[in-house]
């Protein structure tokens, strides 16, 4: 694993549970992505959520960004999020 994505999401007031449910439902989609090595959805504060995932190569990362999870997230962004998702490509320096 050398490639990752960190996506930070800020829920609109009152939409926190809907964001949490959207992320939980995306787990099934992540399981279907052969090129996604690891996928985590998390909650960092009452209104801040995120996704962190890893890939063996750039092709896997690109496929994920163009895949069903990204489409579902962007399709609900205006309804659920206070601002656009902060999506960052990251390069992994060390992995256990």
User: pLDDT by residue (tens digit) across 22-67?
Assistant: 999 999 999 999 999 999 999 999 999 999 999 999 999 999 999 9
The domain of 11 spans 3-88
Assign residue 10 the CATH number of its domain.
Answer: 3.30.70.100
Is position 36 within any domain? yes
Domain count, the chain: 1
Is position 94 within any domain? no
Residue among 32, 34, 28, 37 at smallest CA distance from 5: 37
Global pTM reads: 0.93
Is position 93 within any domain? no
pLDDT at 52: 98
- Neighbouring residues of 21: CB distance < 8 A, sequence distance ≥ 6: none
Q: Measured on CA atoms in the order 67, 72, 75, 80, is the torsion positive or negative? A: negative
Is position 95 within any domain? no
DSSP-assigned beta bridge partners for residue 7 = 51, 87
């Amino acid at each position: 694993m050398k490639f990752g994505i960190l996506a930070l999401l800020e829920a609109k007031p009152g939409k926190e549970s809907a964001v949490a449910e959207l992320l939980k439902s995306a787990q099934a989609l992540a399981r279907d992505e052969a090129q996604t090595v690891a996928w985590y959805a998390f909650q960092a504060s009452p209104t801040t959520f995120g996704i962190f995932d890893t890939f063996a190569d750039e092709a896997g990362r690109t496929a994920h960004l163009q895949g069903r999870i990204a489409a579902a997230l962007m399709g609900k962004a205006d309804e659920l999020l206070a601002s656009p998702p902060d999506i960052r490509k990251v390069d992994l320096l060390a992995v256990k």
